[in-house]
């Protein structure tokens, strides 16, 4: 296939289509959605919660899935502010969520993870856990003898016309992917190298650039400045969410042996 960035060990592909391509190749996949799916999952898992991703929208089918699991469905930020409960804001999770189950729908991160669920190992990364997720992925690459694809999720254009592509690349995800890629070992594709170059050219301005990017400006405009500030922090978490039996949990010693050659459990629709 011409578009698989072969024969490199470390690759980069965008969005849902890129996630599907990486899963079909049998790559280890790292999903990067800085604002805010990845940051929320990392924070929840750090507090020992279990996150079940589910494709959008958060409709009656998603609610039925959550009910079947005995899980709380994570609400949109505005609804959570009105009614309480957890949302895509990582700041809504705490140590009180120990061993609780949540279903998380999102337009980008959850959609990409749903598509990529059959990967030999599916991880979640962001700025918060960049070093930890890279260290884990490096170990998995050697153990599973598989390449790694980092997937920045991007955003969606709301007003596409006709056959226009609705993927809107987000620099917050690109910089987050670049930070993770810079810590991965192995030969890197041109796409991965350019992403690392974007990170390095940003220098000490990563937080400033993300603060001013479109996604962050949207959140700030809705009153969620604290989310942006939190998600821009680098390497404050050692949590590494890994997909096991349809849910993200913190990777544990010995879990890599279970992942070796083991496909994900069938999803329930």
CATH number at residue 184: 3.90.1560.10
pLDDT value for 80: 85
17 Cβ contact partners less than 8 Å away, ≥ 6 residues apart:
none
CA-to-CA distance for 105 and 75, rounded, in angstroms? 8
Helix (H, G, I), strand (E, B) or coil at 31: strand
Element (H, E) at 243: strand 241-244
Of residues 10 and 84, more confidence is placed in 10
Looking at residues 57-82, what average pLDDT do you find?
A: 92
Residue 164 is assigned to a structural domain of this protein: yes
CB within 8 Å of 4: residues ≥ 6 apart = 11, 21, 25
Q: How confident is the model at residue 251 (pLDDT cuts 50, 70, 90)?
A: confident
Domain assignment of residue 105, given as a range: 10-247
Mean pLDDT score of the chain: 92
In-domain check, residue 131:
yes
The pTM for the full model equals 0.94
Q: What is the mean pLDDT of residues 136-140?
A: 97
Specify if 117 maps to a domain.
yes
Length of the chain in residues, anyone?
A: 269
Name all contacts of 164-172 with Cβ < 8 Å and 24+ positions apart: 167/14, 167/15, 168/214, 169/14, 170/34, 170/35, 170/213, 170/214, 170/215, 171/209, 171/210, 171/213, 172/34, 172/35, 172/210, 172/213, 172/215, 172/216, 172/231
Q: What are 147-169's pLDDT values in tens digits? A: 999 999 999 998 999 999 999 99
| Cβ atoms of 125 and 180 closer than 8 Å | yes
In a domain, 265, yes or no: no
Judged on CB neighbours under 10 Å (0-12, 13-18, 19+), 220 is: middle
The predicted-structure confidence for 81-103, as pLDDT tens digits, reads as follows: 888 889 999 999 999 999 999 99
| 75: in domain | yes
Mean pLDDT of 116-139: 97
Bridge partners (DSSP) of residue 241 are 250
Query: What CA–CA distance (Å, rounded) separates 71 from 102?
Result: 5
Residue 18 has pLDDT above 90, yes or no: yes
Segment 231-246 mean pLDDT: 96
> Which among 204, 201, 210, 112 is positioned nearest to 152, based on CA atoms?
112
Question: What's residue 254's pLDDT?
Answer: 58
The pLDDT of residue 4:
75
* Counted domains in the chain: 1
């Amino acid at each position: 296939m011409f578009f698989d960035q072969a024969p490199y060990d470390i690759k980069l592909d965008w969005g849902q289509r890129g996630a599907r391509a990486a899963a079909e190749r049998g790559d280890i996949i790292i999903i990067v959605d800085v604002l805010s799916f990845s940051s929320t999952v990392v924070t929840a898992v750090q507090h020992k919660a279990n996150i079940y991703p589910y494709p959008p929208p958060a409709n009656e089918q998603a609610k039925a899935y959550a009910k079947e699991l005995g899980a709380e469905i994570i609400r949109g930020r505005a609804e959570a502010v009105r009614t309480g409960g957890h949302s895509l804001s990582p700041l809504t999770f705490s140590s009180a969520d120990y061993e609780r189950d949540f279903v998380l729908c999102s337009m980008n991160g959850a959609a990409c993870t749903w598509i990529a669920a059959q990967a030999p190992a599916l991880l979640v990364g962001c700025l918060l856990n960049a070093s930890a997720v890279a260290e884990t992925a490096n170990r998995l690459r050697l153990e599973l003898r598989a390449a790694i694809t980092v997937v920045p999720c991007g955003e969606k254009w709301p007003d596409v016309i006709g056959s226009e592509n609705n993927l809107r690349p987000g620099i917050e995800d690109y910089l987050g992917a670049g930070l993770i890629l810079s810590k991965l070992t192995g030969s890197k594709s041109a796409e991965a190298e350019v992403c690392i170059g974007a990170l390095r050219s940003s220098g000490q301005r990563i937080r400033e650039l993300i603060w001013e990017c479109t996604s962050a400006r949207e959140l700030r405009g809705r009153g969620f400045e604290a989310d942006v500030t939190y998600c821009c922090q680098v390497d404050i978490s050692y949590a590494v969410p890994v997909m096991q039996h349809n849910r993200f949990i913190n990777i544990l010693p010995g879990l890599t042996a279970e992942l070796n050659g083991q496909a994900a459990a069938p999803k329930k629709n």
